[in-house]
Structure formats: structure tokens, C-alpha cells
Amino acid sequence: MKHLRVLVLDDDEKVLRMFRFFFRNEGYDVETASNGREGLALMARYHFHLVVVDLKMPVMDGLSFSGIVARIWPWQEMIICTGFLDPVLKKKIQAAGIQTILEKPISLNTLHEAIQVSRVGQGSGANQATSSLPDGGPSTALNEFRELAHAIWNKPRIQPACEVFLSKLQHLVPWESAILLALDDETAYLFARSTSTPAQQGFQAAVAHVLEQFELLSGQKPDIPESQIHLDFTYGKTPMPSTPPVYLPIMGIDRIEALLVLHPTPQHPLNPVKAPLLYYFAHHFSTLLQAIEEIHRQSLVDPLTGLFNRQYLHGEIERAWLLAKRARGRLSLLMLDLDGFKSINDSHGHTAGDEILLQASNLLQEMVRQSDLLVRIGGDEFVVFIPPAADNAPEVLAERILKTFQNHVFEVGDAKLSLTLTIGFAHGGDDSAIASSMQLMECADQALYEGKRAGGNRVQAWVAQHPESRAPGPHPILVVDDDPHILQLVSRMLSDEMYAVTRAESVDEALTHLKNDKFDLLITDLSLPKRDGLELLRQAQAIDPIMPCLVITGYSSKHSEDVLRAQGVLAVLEKPFTPNEIRARVHEALAHRAELLKKARG
């Protein structure tokens, strides 16, 4: 049993300790995770001979985790542990391909017996499951599958995902040319690879044929922007390959997500042995994209209320702001905070508090329009975002919400509770003094604070003339990197009027700025001359403990990210990153700072 690796998922640290003790005594290397999302991150990095999964976990439960693992790594041996099992649940577990189910509390003898009867205990595991794969090296094929999963997991975006897919595919089925047409939401991308320099006319004819076939299969006629055509060759005079092309549709949940057209090399024609491998690989790619899409969707939803969360709000409000700015429309944002919610948690317990939040969210959903966006941004705070519309009247909606809560009775068990709220709101996007989406949120938050300070249970508008209601200015951000091109790139990405970027190329230069000026955010590279970024992070936190920090780096691992978070780093951006990625992280960091300031002022 030496040198075998096991992954254990459970949110109870005592249970994890028991499993670590048992498996290490059995000769396993042990990794642990407290929820399904952490487990998937480890699955993408390492090969495990056995996975032991608890069903009831936060963030992502064991059943969801097992379903994703079964689709991506169908050979994976798994054991389910649960404190409750009924026939319906047992059927769902077995539908995921898992036959070994252990009911808690689990004795070490029971666990030992379960492993002995598994494929792992019999010395087979993944090799047995992969023996049905086409010849040509199951171990090589599995390695390519795993490397594909690892690469896409680390950079879950359409462009790098497709580029990695084509690269790995070349190792399995050598080709002369490959054209991949892919959809991401409503945007179309075209990726083309060739081992020669094809004539432009021949290549364009091949692309037209791919578009025609895609429309035939999907019923959609994609329009590909020039900026989304990615070629790895220059045009020449070589004719397109004469070998018959292979057409491979890549399916999503309910539609064709991509179409691959491949010309195998004459020396490696697609035969009955290699053809299934090609389809397995494409299916694996499709499943990876679906899994990442689902995890991304879950990261935008509040697990308690089912409402969207702060991260989703930032993206939506930024897009709506840009549209409203062009059309000179008016955006409105209501920020709501339940009055006296902490006392309910203290008196009736957190379970009762969760029930109140759930009932409050249901009440709010009944009052907002379908076009409005209702978000839980954390704790007992909600936001209603009203996009540009002819009947944009946040005052009316705010008063209606206020009166509804004043008259509503919340029932939690046998207790009947009354609860009011305070609402702050602000307008922006038209000719108001508010100049950005971030300022719109800050002004609504400022109005909420004023309403709370006045006693709560009221609607408070943000008024520019009020002495404490100045529209916040641009956020000062310090960016540190010894590469002037990176500094220029980040400055361009944050060139909106809501940011004021200061650049520094060394730790000493950055510390001089930090000691002389006030910054809302620090963004730093780790690899800097003379003194590294970790030293800068330590000193920056000593100078301003409330200032959030982001790190940009050429490479990151789970271990390095854990070390950085222990240093107070909110997020790590791996180069290359997109403008949307860095803006989203900056939004989150500034929102985090606003929360800290709010707590500091009571």
C-alpha cells in the first residue's frame, strides 16, 4: 500500500484527524479538504487512488462533488460516508457510479474492510478502469487528460482552454491542421493551428466551411470578431491538407459549444483504435468547461438565500454604468440593512438568524421588479440595483419596502418577531455628482450610514450638498512591478476616472510612496529587485493595516496562495490576466476595505 495517495473530504476536523491517522498507518499519503470546491481544486492538481467523501459539507456538498468527479474522472475510486441514508439518496449515489457507502459513525475495521474489497485494495484502481481505453498507451492518454484538466483549471478562460486543448490533442492524434470554433456566452472564437504555411484563400475557404457546418449542426450562425481569430501561422502558398477532415462537435449542457475540424497527418490516419480516443478527449474537454462554468455560477450565488452575491453585483453594475453613461440614463442603487439583527442572533441563535434572512430575502423578491437586481452582499445587508428605465423611482420602492417590513411579522419556530430596516439610496449615470459605479455604491452606503446614525427604520437619500455626503473621489492605487510594460498595462486597465494609479518599480520606491501618501489598495509583483514583494507586503500592512493587497505573479500554487493569504493578501492574479479579471479583483478589494472602514466607525 506504499506510495498510494488518498483524498478525504469532510468539514469536521475531528473526522479528518481520524482519517489521517488511519490512512497514514496504512501507508497512504493523505490530502484533506473541508468542502467539494477545495476537493476539486486538489483533484485537478494530483492523482488520487482513492477519494473518501462526506455528503454534508458547506459551499459544495459531497453529492455535487461526486457527480462532477464521475463526469471528469470516471475511473476514480470513491467511498461515500454519511450520517443519514435513505433509498432515494442511495439511488442518487449509485447513479454517480459509487457502490461503497459507509454510514457514520465509522469504525476503523469497517473502513479497512471497505478498502480491501475496493479496486484500490485489490491493487488495480485506475489501471483497471482504463484498460478499456484504445491502445496507443492508456497511461499516456490518461496523462494528457490529467494535464488538460490541470491547465484548464488553473486558467478557466475560453482562449487558454482552447489553446491547451489543441496542443494536447496534437500529442494524441497528430494533425496537419486544426480549426476550432467555440462559443462563450454569445461571443464566438476561432482558433486555427497548422504545421505548414497555408495559402490565405484556401484557409478562408476552410473557415467558411467550418462556419457552414456549425450552423448546420447547431442552428446558430456565429459572427466572429476580428479580435477573436487566433492563428499560430503565417500565410504562404501551401494548399490545405488533402486528407479527409474529421468533424467533432463538442457538446455543452443543452447545445453545441464548439466544433473541431481536424486534418490528421498522412502518417497517422484516424483509425478505429484512435477514433474513440479522440472522442473521449473531446468529451473530457466539454465536461471540464461545463464543470468550471457551474463552479463559476455557484461562486456568484449566496448559498443561504439563493440571491446573487457581491461579486456578481460588481460585474453587472459596471456593465450597466458604461451603457447608462453612453445613453445618459439614470441608475439607482438601494442599500438595505436590517435593524437590530445582531440581537436576534444573540437571543434566538444563528439558526433563527438564518431563517430571518431567508424570509427577508423572499419578502424583498416579491417587491422588486424582474428588471431590478436583488443581491445579498453579506451579513444582514442587501442591495437593490435599478437599471436605467423610464420609471426609475427608487424613492417609491424604498418607501414600499420600509412599510412592508414595519408591518410584517417574522415567524421562527414558536417565536413571532418584528424587524425593521434602514435604506440608503443614490442615483448615478446621468448628470449627478457621482462619477463611477464604485462611487454609486459608496454614496448609497454613506446614505445608509447616515440613516442608521439617525436612529434607523427610515429611508435616507444621498444628497451632494450634505456636509457628510461628498461623492468619494478616485481611489488611489499603488502598483509595484519592476517591469515597466506591466506597470503601463495595469495602468491602462485601470484608467477609469474611479482610479488614480501610482507606479513604483522597487520596494524602496513603493515604501516611500506609502509613507508619504494614502492609498486604498496595493497591487504588487512578488519578484522585485533587492527586496521581494513579501517584504513589501509585511511593511505595507504595518503602515496601513486596513489597506487591502493584491499580488500579481507569473506562477502561483495552492501552497504559495495560502502563504500569501496568511500575509493578508486578498487575491492572487496569475500573469497574463485580462482587464476584466483585474477590475473584478480591484472591485472586491475596495469593497472589502469599505467593510473594514464601516466596522471601524461602528
- Would you say the C-alpha torsion 104, 108, 114, 118 has a positive or negative sign? positive
Which of 136-140, 381-385, 430-434, 542-546 holds the top average pLDDT? 381-385
Give pLDDT, residue 602: 58
Give the pLDDT mean for 580-600: 79
Residue 120's pLDDT band, with cuts at 50, 70 and 90, is low
CB 422 within 8 Å of CB 339: yes
At residue 38, the 3 state secondary structure works out as helix
Measured CA to CA, the distance from residue 477 to residue 483 in angstroms comes to 17
At residue 261, the 3 state secondary structure works out as strand
> pLDDT tens digits for 263-277?
888 887 777 667 777
- What one-character-per-residue DSSP string does 191-255 give? EEEESS-B-HHHHHHHHHHHHHHHHHHHS------GGGEEESS---SBPPP-SPPEEEEEE-SSS
Measured CA to CA, the distance from residue 141 to residue 133 in angstroms comes to 9
Give pLDDT, residue 586: 87
Give the pLDDT mean for 383-401: 83
Q: How does 114-137 read in b/e, with b if 16+ C-beta sit within 10 Å?
A: bbeebbbbeeebbeebeeebbeee
Q: Which cell numbers hold the place of 105?
A: 459513525
Give pLDDT, residue 571: 87
- Would you say the C-alpha torsion 277, 278, 279, 284 has a positive or negative sign? positive
Query: Which one has a higher pLDDT value, 67 or 487?
Result: 487
* Beta bridge partners of residue 382, listed in sequence order: 336, 376
Give the pLDDT mean for 359-371: 92
Give pLDDT, residue 589: 87
Measured CA to CA, the distance from residue 119 to residue 330 in angstroms comes to 63
Give pLDDT, residue 72: 63
CB 145 within 8 Å of CB 172: no
CB 81 within 8 Å of CB 53: yes
Cα angle: 501, vertex 503, 506; to 5 degrees = 150
> pLDDT tens digits for 219-244?
788 888 877 888 888 888 888 887 88
Q: Does 576 sit behind a cis peptide bond, omega within 30 degrees of 0 on the bond before it?
A: yes
Q: Which cell numbers hold the place of 175?
A: 494533425
Give pLDDT, residue 392: 59
Measured CA to CA, the distance from residue 478 to residue 516 in angstroms comes to 12
Of residues 380, 481, 520, 525, which has the active-site annotation?
Answer: 380
CB neighbours (10 Å) of residue 190? 19
Residue 480's pLDDT band, with cuts at 50, 70 and 90, is very high
Give the pLDDT mean for 402-413: 93
**Strand 331-338 relative to strand 421-428, pairing:** antiparallel
**Strand 28-33 relative to strand 4-9, pairing:** parallel
Q: Has residue 111 got a pLDDT over 70? A: yes
Q: Has residue 336 got a pLDDT over 70? A: yes
> pLDDT tens digits for 450-477?
999 899 999 999 876 554 445 566 889 9
Give pLDDT, residue 136: 42
Cα angle: 430, vertex 431, 433; to 5 degrees = 110
Q: Has residue 506 got a pLDDT over 70? A: yes
Place of cell 434602514: 422
Q: Has residue 90 got a pLDDT over 50? A: yes
Q: Which cell numbers hold the place of 52?
A: 473518501
CA–CA distances in Å: residue 494 to residues 80, 552, 585: 47, 15, 12
Q: Is 380 a catalytic residue?
A: yes
Q: Which residues contact 232 (CB under 8 A, 6 or more apart)?
A: 192, 193, 194
Q: Has residue 124 got a pLDDT over 50? A: no
Burial level of 403, CB count in 10 A (0-12/13-18/19+)?
exposed
Give pLDDT, residue 129: 37
Length in residues, the chain: 602
Place of cell 457621482: 434
CB 457 within 8 Å of CB 339: yes
221-225, 229-233, 281-285, 296-300 — which is least confidently predicted?
296-300
Q: How does 337-370 read in b/e, with b if 16+ C-beta sit within 10 Å?
A: bbbbbeebbeebeeebbebbbebbbeebeeebee
Give pLDDT, residue 391: 62
> pLDDT tens digits for 531-579?
888 889 989 988 988 899 999 887 766 667 777 887 788 888 887 777 7
Q: Which cell numbers hold the place of 173?
A: 492524434
Give pLDDT, residue 522: 94
Measured CA to CA, the distance from residue 477 to residue 540 in angstroms comes to 13
Residue % of the chain over a pLDDT of 90:
21
> pLDDT tens digits for 309-324?
988 888 788 778 777 7
Give the pLDDT mean for 12-25: 88
* Mean per-residue pLDDT of the chain: 82
CB 546 within 8 Å of CB 596: yes
Q: Has residue 122 got a pLDDT over 60? A: no
CA 135 to chain centre: 37
User: In what order do the strands lie in the sheet containing 246-251?
Assistant: 229-231, 187-194, 175-184, 256-264, 246-251
Measured CA to CA, the distance from residue 54 to residue 19 in angstroms comes to 12
